[in-house]
Each structure stands twice: as structure tokens, then as C-alpha cells.
Chains A and B, each alone.
Chain A
Amino acid sequence: MTDTPTTPVRIDICDLSLSFGATKVLKGLNLAIEPGELFAFLGPSGSGKSTLLRAIAGFGPMPKGKILLDGRNIVGDVPWRRNVGMVFQNYALWPHMTVARNVAFGLEERKVSTSATKSRVRSALELVGMGAYGERYPSQLSGGQQQRVALARTIVIEPAVLLLDEPLSNLDANLRVQMRQELLKLQRRLGITTIFVTHDQEEANTICDRIAVMANGVVQQTGRPEELYDHPANSFVAEFLGTANIIDGRVIQTASRRMVFEGGADFTVPLSNSETPGVARLVLRPQAMEFCDRDGVDCLSGRVVSAEFLGGMVRYLVRLSGIDLVVDERHIRGTARRSAGDDAYLKLDPGQAVLIRD
């Protein structure tokens, strides 16, 4: 096992569909994953993200379409010939084998010599910080340790691609934060193209180069975390990544020939003049609005419905001409939060508003 970067592999998924009986789980997916990327499949349960990952590893029903590793289609190849490494959600360590035997398994299957196996097992375990645990059984390890062993077992065979199926979901919150940084470091060190399946947007946002947001067997949007957050393609992406106020309405042209978004009686937001009239939705992040004085310029009047103190900020629900908006305000030491029923005046930053049409 070496920890110098190998030549990373590019993954192309072309028009991939897959069904369990009559249920369509993947519906014509297209994705391109660059060599060496740490790429996330992000979506709620039932979105098809794990099914897609398993299809890349060769498990589950045979999909239609193509999965290309550096241009070579692997659909139809048996799992044991793909050289695609997967870390299972439950780690799937074999309880009847020691840690070292677990890690050695793949090398033995590849007929690697005993001495080479020994040294590669040792360095793989050292790489994940488990060098001292070779003779333990999986049941004698904590969840975090088991995961490191599962990782060592997979990377020791130097797979072309590394697949991680919800790798952090069985760990407690603190360990999760620590492990994701370690995963990132390890991935960078090995330079291996890696796919990370998760339903946790924070995990995907913090360590992944790019994310494919999935729902209902379809990729909703692909992009860097900031792109997805700032320019969601549809309301699903807007709501799945962070908190969003989504206001139904339409784009109209005012008498003064300016484009505005109209979402209810008194709720209008100026837009750039390149927008076209028609039905649309406005996405407003909670930090896109700020409280202002009663007689401030462009201030809309409303009423506080509820207030939640979150530490660094206070999250308000404010009713504005019939629309409930989530608004965040930075907490300043010593100040009390506004009370439910108080009058509130909000100023919107039009530059922070995003228009979607889905």
C-alpha cells in the first residue's frame, strides 16, 4: 500500500436507469465526476443515492445505461472484477476474523505474496491510525475504530474508485465532525476519485468538492456547495440545502417599465430587468433580510410570530402581508429577543433574492 497519489479515474454515468420490479428507482441519470474529486450524492432517503452507489459497485439489479471508468463501461461486470472499493454503512466487518485478517482479505484474493500482504496490511492500518489493533476482533472495537478498519480494508486493495455509503451516520456528533476532516485528508493524500453518499447537507458542504443533489431517482442539480446554495435550480434544492423562504408569485412589469416580483398584496421585490414576466417563486435565505426602523426606506411592516434563540443568532418567524418568513438576526450580547406579537419592519436585500421557475 502506498499513500502517494495514483492516477485518478474519471467516472461518467450516462443515462442510467434502474428498477426494483415495477418501481423505478433511478430514472435516466447523467453525471460526470472528475478524476480525484471528492463527490457527494446528497438526498433524502428514497432518493436513489445509495442505489446509484451500489450500482457503481456492481450490487443490486442490473441497470440500463452506462457507467464509465476512464471510458470503460463496467455495467454488467461482476463486482469482484471491478476494483471499485466500497465502505459499507454498517462497515460490514466480518466478525469471525481479526482486524488484520479482515484487511488482508482482499490482498489474499488477489494472490499477493504473504510478506507483501503483511506489510501492506500494516501500513493501511497505520494510515487510518489503527496500527495497534490488528489482532483485535471487530466486536472489541468502537464504532469509530470499526469504520477506520473498514476504510483500511477497502483502500489496501488500491481501488480505482472509493465509494463511501453514509460513512459517518453511525458515529456520534463529535466524532462525525472529526472523522469527516480525516476522510478529506486521507482522500487528498491518496488522490483517489471518491463518492460520498449522505443525507446530511452539512457533511457534503464541508468536505466535498462537488455535490449532486438527488430526489426521486433524478439528479436535481450538480455543482460546488456554494453554487447550489446561492443558485438553487429548483425549490427542492433550495429547501434541502439550508433554510429558505420560498414565496409563490409572479414577475410583472410595473408602469415604470421595471420588473418586480409580486408575492401577495403588499409584497414586491425589485428584480433585474432581464427577467421575463410570468409565474415564478422567490427564494429568500433567512439572512437576506434585516430588521429596520418603522420609518426606514423600503421597509415592509409585519408582526413577530415566534422567536428561537440559537446562540449566535435569533431565528424569527415574521408574518408579512400574509406570508410567514424566517428571518435570522445576529445576537448581540445583552439584548433581549423580540417578543411574539411585536411589530416588526423588514428590509429585503434584492441582491440576495433568487428567482426560480419550477
Chain B
Amino acid sequence: MAFAILQWPARRSSPGPYIVSGLIALFLFSFLVFPVFKVIQFAIYDSGHGGLSLVNFQDFFNNALLRQSFYNSVHVAFLAVLVASTFALPLAYFTTRFNFSGSVIIQTLSFLPLIMPPFIGAVAMKLLFGANGSVNLLLRDYFGITIPFMDGLNGVIFVQSIHYFPFILVNLSASLQNIDRSMEEAGQMLGSRGLRLFRRIVFPLAMPGYIAGASLVFVKVFDDLGTPLLLNVNTMLAPQAYLRISSIGTDDPMGYVISCILIAFSVFAMWVAFLGTRGKDYSTIQKGGGGLAKRDLRPHERILCYAVIILILGIVLAPHLGLLLLSLGSVWSFSVLPSGFTFAHYATALTSARVFIQNMLLYAGLAGVIDIVLGTVIAYLVMRTNVIGRKWIEHMAVSALAVPGVVVGIGYLRAFYDIELPVTGHPLATWWGIIVIALAIRRLPYAFRSCSAALRQVSPALEEASENLGASRLRTVGRIVAPLMTGGLIAGFITSFATAAVELSATIMLVSSQNDAPLSYGLYLFMQSAAGRGPGAALGVLAVIIVGLATYLSHRLVGRARQQRVHVQAAAEAIG
């Protein structure tokens, strides 16, 4: 409805918007719909007898390894949600119920996933929490016990839940903060209190936020390729898809079957989130009202709160700390800390990995520009024109959310391997530009969100005022709309850039030569060997610094606190 109000009154129809719409639809169809269609088509194609059938799915579930992988992926995703919830719930509770200075620390935690994707810290986590890692060495020496934090699937669960718990924290805190005090007071007035009041009123009202966060964590963990690969856990769906395609080849149907399962789970998780939040805008906060009543902490409670926060903070910062130690340590094996410190890894990283960094800046920069241009144009078409089919373009752009990176990679290989580039004659699928397009497609939903938020802030009345004073439509866009949108657009660009810079799951499929590989792929290569870990960690630290700086910049640009929260959330979701 809001859109309808914003739409311009009927004007003389001009072909311009239709031409632009057509070009965008063609782009989205070619690089999103078509590859996904190819994946699904191949998964349900019976290569033995020809024709469509579900025989490939039957083969999938008859294969013990794949069945195990399926089970493991579901298991890991569920447990990661559970563990992440145990981190997030107390923190959300502390900030919304108590007047508590530690809230600042908790809010800072919600930024962490932005500045380091889980696969970067995974190897460092092994050195800290593995069977012979620092923590277990200490536990063995002092208590004679060890805890298998990082054994097999545990490691994936541990690393992922540390990384993704802020999604739950941010969403849950937001919905708790949006509950008006009177909701609770009405319950008290009618005779309810304590846990019973919490269970009947506060918890149900916060539930949509929790479901949104939890389903997001589920799907992120379920789709993730980099973390299990770097932890050497191959019996999960995404690594199996990658290994199948990269070792057997693009004609092996199992990779496509797995892709379909990944898409199905993504769609399922989004559907759950939709059901959990549909018609449940429980944001009840009123003008002049306040959020839930907060109380001061008693001294012993304060100590307890800080203890919990410091423990969680310690665990959450472990990957960062581990990565830093690894990048600076000369040798680190069977000891609590590295045996010596050196800057040599940074020198190695900067010389031998320069091409990776250059590629990263180029690819992520181009992807960011494409996203902002597409995002702005689509937002404008949807909100300010009456072009028929504009909603479909929006749906197409946003539907990239449901397509995991592995699937994009596999789909591109399938769809574009047979298409030759005009001059070189190489397959389109092996061209470095296809990586850029894959990155742009994957980040488009988030960039679109930034752009439409920026455009929504520009009231049509401002444009009408400009036209009323004699400026043409084009002049108005240039002098009024664009300047007003700039902050949001730059923030959107940086989000796309920062998250594309550390993308691995689609990239790893599409890199055909080391010279074309971006930083995330280089990191993955380095981390394969014991000797490469030091320089790999140094590269990781560089990536964290670049992404961290970019994130900081985008927050500075977006400015106002409320927008900041929305933006952080969008950006946080964009990591994959």
C-alpha cells in the first residue's frame, strides 16, 4: 500500500522505463534464473533412460555417505542454532531487563560476524580449542581432562555458532526492545507476574524476532562451504557438492541433487521465518511510552552478569585472537602459545599473495558497483513507475536470497561452460568476470534493500517541489533524488563490497586459475598446508582489517542510530 501512495500519477508512457526493465530482467534471468533452472533440470534428469525422473534423488538416499552428509548437515545446523541461542538469550535478556553498562559491549558483539567470516578463523580455532590446542593443553595440565570442542562435527558447530549467534541476538533484542511497557503492566494489573508473565506475554511477543534470527542461522550454517572444508569435515552436503563437482566433474548428478536440497532447505527456512513473523508486527512501542521496565542490578547480580559476558566475549573473540597469534607466531604446535613471534608471514603474504588482494579489490569493487546501479534502478522502477512487471523484477532480485553460494557456483558451471567467450574462445564459466557477476547476484538482495531504503526516505513531495519549480524529471533525479540517496547508496556499496570480499562458496567453484583467484580463495589455498598457515592467517588479518574498515565507514555514513541498526542487520545477513 505504501508503494501505491508513492507511485507517480499516470503520465504519458515513455519507452525508457520499459527498455531498462527489459535489460534488467534479461540480466537477472541469464545469471540467476537460468543457472538455477539448469541445476534443477539436471537433478531431475535421468541420464540412463533420458527424460525426467526422481531416480537421482533415489540414488542420493541409497548412498550411505550422502545420507550421512545429509544427516550431518541437518544435525550441525540444528545444534548451531541451539548453541548460538544459549549465547544470545542471556545477552538479550541482560540488555533489555537491566540498567547495565555492559550493554555497550553486547551491542559491539553484534558487529563481529561482519568483520570476519567463520572460515577465516576456523584453522585458528583448531589451534586454540583442538585436541592439542591451547585450551585443552591447559585443561590436561591442570585438571587432567580434555573437551572435544573441535572434533569432527563439533568443530563446525562450535565455530558456526560463535560466528552466527549475533543474528539471534540482534533480532531478539530488537523485538524485545519494541515491546511497550504497558503490555507487561496490563498483565500485572490483571494479576500476572514473574515467570508466568514472561511466558504468557513477553516471550510470545519476542518470538517473531527469535524465529527470524534462528532460521537465518539455520540456513547460513546449512549452506556454508568454507568452514567445513577448512576444518576437514567433508561429510556434509555443501562440501560433498563441491567435492563431487570438482573431482568427478559437472556431469555427476549428485552435485545437482545436493544443490536442490540446499535450495529446498533455504526456501523452507525462509518460509518458517515468514510464517513466524507474518502478521506479527508486534512492535507495540508508543510515542512517549517506554520499552520494558528496566531495573538496576544488585552488586552480586552485576558481578554475575559481567562474568557471563566476559566468558561469552572470550569465546567469541577467540577466532580473532587465534588468527592474530597464528599470523604472528613462528611455530605453533602442541603449545599454549606460539613458541616465537615474527612478521615474516605478513611479508610472505604481501609478496606472494599480492595478486589475490588485487583480484579481491577488483572483483568486490565491481560487484559493489553493479549492485548499487541495479539496486537503485530496480528500487526506482518499483517505487516510482507503473511499469508492468516491475514487481516480478523485484521478486527475481530478492530471490537470490534463497540460492546458496554453492548452488550459484554449480549452476554457473553447468549453464556457462559450453558458452564460449568471443575473442579468447575460453568457456564463459572460466572467465574472471563471471566471478564478479556471481558475487553481484548474490549480494543484490542486500544492496537492493539499502537502495530502496534510501529512496523511501526521499519523499515524492520533494521531487514534485523540484518539478513544480521547473526542473525536468532527469534534472530532478540529478539534483534532488541522487544527493539525498548518496549516504544510503555508499553504505549499500560498502556492504556489498565488504561481504563479497570474503565470499568463498561460489568463488571456490568458479576460480579456474590461481591468477584469477581472489583473497578468500587464496586464504583457502594457504590454509591447506601447515607451512601456509602463517601467511594464510596474515592474509586473514588483512581481510578482517579491510572489511572492518569498510564496515566502520559504512556505519559512519549511514549515521543515525536507528538506520544503523537496520543496516547492520542487513549487512550481517549478507555474509555467507
Contact = CB atoms under 8 A, between A and B. Distances in A.
B192 A109 contact: yes
Nearest to B185: A59
Interface in B282-339: 282, 284, 286, 289
Contacts, number: 77
Contact of A58 (B182, B188, B201, B207): B188
B573 interface: no
Contact of B182 (A80, A92, A139): A92
A105 interface: yes
Interface in B254-282: 279-282
B278 to A, nearest CB: 12
A95 B205 contact: yes
A78 B186 contact: no
Contacts of B204: 94, 96
A202 B286 CA distance: 25
A219 interface: no
Interface in B197-219: 200-201, 204-205, 207
B182 A88 contact: yes
Interface string B398-432: 00000000000000000000000000000000000
A139 B279 contact: yes
A93 B190 CA distance: 12
A85 interface: yes
Contact of A80 (B189, B284, B289): B189
A187 B204 CA distance: 33
Interface string B175-189: 000001011011111
A95 B186 CA distance: 13
B516 to A, nearest CB: 52
A92 B186 contact: yes
Given A94-B205, A96-B282, A139-B279, A86 B183 contact: no
Contact of B190 (A58, A95, A105, A139): A105
A110 interface: yes
A195 B391 CA distance: 52
Nearest to A86: B189
A96 B280 contact: yes
A179 to B, nearest CB: 19
B244 interface: no
A106 B284 CA distance: 20
B185 A88 contact: yes
A60 to B, nearest CB: 9
Contact of B191 (A86, A95, A109, A137): A109
A315 interface: no
19 contacts: A59-B185, A59-B188, A78-B188, A79-B189, A80-B189, A82-B189, A84-B189, A85-B189, A90-B180, A92-B186, A94-B201, A95-B282, A95-B284, A96-B204, A96-B205, A106-B190, A109-B196, A153-B186, A154-B189
Interface of B: 180, 182-183, 185-193, 196, 200-201, 204-205, 207, 279-282, 284, 286, 289
